[in-house]
A and B are shown apart, each in its own frame.
Chain A
Amino acid sequence: MALTQPSLRPAVRMGLPIPNSKLAMWLFLGTEIMFFTAFIGTYLVLRLGSTDANGNLAWPSNPDVTHIRVWAGGLNTFVLILSSYFVVVAHEAMGQRNIPRARLFLALTFALACVFLGIKAYEYYGKFSHGILPGRVAETEEQSQRKVVRELEHAVEAAGLTAMQARVIALETEKASAADDAARQELAAEQERLNAQIAKLAPFEAEFRAIRDAVLAGTISTADLQHRVHELGEEYPALAGGVHYQEPILYGNIFASTYFLMTGFHALHVLVGMIIFGVVLAQGARLNAGWGEYVENAGLYWHFVDLVWIFLFPLIYIV
């Protein structure tokens, strides 16, 4: 009898007292915490383990060497914090059903994400132009010398000396089988022009070979190498003007690897955040209060992106 009576107690609701989407976002952020902690933790451990022969920490931290600019990192921190604030304002506006205000602040957040990536692109350009790239940094004097040789070799290849020499040989055959004197004279003129160019470039190639042999034999000092490369650059500015001896950076490659890994994945997250905000903004006039939960979850994601940068800034730019 009692079993047939309806219960007066409310039905038991399973799970956490938050929407499913919010729970899913927090679970996702949990995996993201592990993802970035792995990178940051590994960076710290590698940095602590990078010592010189005397056991002193030798991680590259001089801004003139690493081309890390505190002002750029600080500015990006400000940009992300401001964008986080704008997301909160947008979320609040959604709660108040003030859709135009929410849209405005979401658009501002999107714009700040663009600014962040712009500053990051400027920083990356600085690294690229100075050759601060994983696997490209010379860590010893010997590696620096060989790097110069490789750059000079590329300059020689770019001059097209081999192709010109091959063409001169081919022209000799073509001349022999030319149909008439006019064609033969034309080929001879081309041959003469090429020979003149080869003669002009020959000293450059000879000097390159001399430098290369000396570097490989280990019989040239760095000061002498710098002097000879400088002179080559002055004599052949179009070919070797951009070739310079770069001082070795101890642990420069692992520095570049960890720098690009951490900031690169963070930038990727910023890009994903822009897509998330782009979806809301694309609703245009259709945006309504029903999107409140979406904006809240987007905000949680964006705050997490901010959170990661809050730790990356001191670890990469200041310490």
Chain B
Amino acid sequence: MADAHTASHAPPAHGGGHTAHDAHGVNYLLVFIALCGLTLLSVIFDVVDMKGQRVLGVFNGTIVLAFLVLAVATAKALCVMAFFMHLKFERNWKYLLLAPTIILAMGLPLALLPDIGVHYYTTDTPQKSQVAGPRTVDAPEPVPAPGPEVVPHE
């Protein structure tokens, strides 16, 4: 259906002239209103403030919040791609072009995830050491680091 629709939409030749755009019958204003509504929904999720709470007594509030707002963001992205970017009306080349791109794009995060995101070992960072046992006034560090250079005392 979409392919047949696009057949009339396609230009006569490569680099061809301007094509008809409003043949899709999309009410862009409705899409815009839907996008605004979804944005409002994201803000409402923020106002509800689930962070650090237990949702339904079981689920971690932060994870639920992340899931909800990312689901809304995905819905918004699909609206923009399908209607504003006309992907709904394009032929199958969109899959050929976008699928490898998205697969390759996932490469870096997936490669980083095991070592940085969910590492099983403990890292020795000053931030964590500080949280574990803050330096106290009674027990100063034995070797103070060199301080900043200041004006010489007359």
For B69-89 the 0/1 string (1 means CB < 8 A from A) is: 110110011001100110000
With a CB–CB cut-off of 8 A, which chain A residues contact B17? 290, 292-293
Give chain B interface residues in 128-145, CB to chain A under 8 Å. Answer: 128-132, 134-135, 137, 140-141, 144-145
Residue in contact with B36 in the complex, picked from A78, A209, A217, A304, CB distance below 8 Å: A78
Interface string of B3-40 (1 = CB under 8 A from A): 00011001101111111111000001101100110010
Residue contacts A-B, CB under 8 angstroms, 24 given: A13-B13, A13-B14, A16-B93, A19-B15, A27-B97, A31-B101, A41-B106, A41-B110, A45-B116, A46-B116, A70-B46, A85-B35, A141-B134, A153-B148, A209-B150, A213-B147, A219-B140, A248-B130, A250-B127, A251-B127, A296-B21, A304-B85, A317-B46, A318-B43
Q: Whole-angstrom distance from the CB of B153 to the nearest CB of chain A?
A: 7
Does B1 have its Cβ within 8 Å of any Cβ on chain A? no
For chain B, which range describes its interface: under 10, 10 to 19, 20 to 34, or 35 or more residues?
A: 35 or more
Residues B37-54 near A (CB distance < 8 A): 39, 42-43, 45-46, 51
How many Å from the CB of A38 to the closest CB on chain B? 5
Contacting residues, chain B, for A150 (C-beta < 8 A): 148
A84 to chain B, nearest CB (A): 5
Count of CB-CB pairs between chains A and B under 8 Å: 224
Q: Which residues of chain A in 287-314 are interfacial with respect to chain B, using CB atoms and an 8 Å cutoff?
A: 289-290, 292-293, 296, 299-300, 303-304, 306-307, 310-311, 313-314
Q: Evaluate contact between A140 and B97: CB separation under 8 angstroms.
A: no
Residues of B close to A26: CB separation below 8 A: 94, 97
How many of chain A's residues touch chain B, expressed as a range? Answer: 35 or more
Q: Which of A90-98, A114-122, A173-181, A239-247 touches B?
A: A90-98
Q: Which 6 A-B pairs have the closest CB atoms?
A: A41-B109, A292-B18, A218-B140, A37-B105, A314-B69, A140-B130
Which residues of A are in contact with B by a Cβ distance under 8 Å? 13, 15-21, 26-27, 30-31, 33-34, 37-38, 40-42, 44-46, 48-49, 51-53, 57-58, 61, 70, 74, 77-78, 81-82, 84-85, 87-89, 91-92, 94-96, 139-142, 149-150, 153, 156-157, 161-162, 165, 205, 208-209, 212-213, 216-221, 248, 250-251, 289-290, 292-293, 296, 299-300, 303-304, 306-307, 310-311, 313-315, 317-319
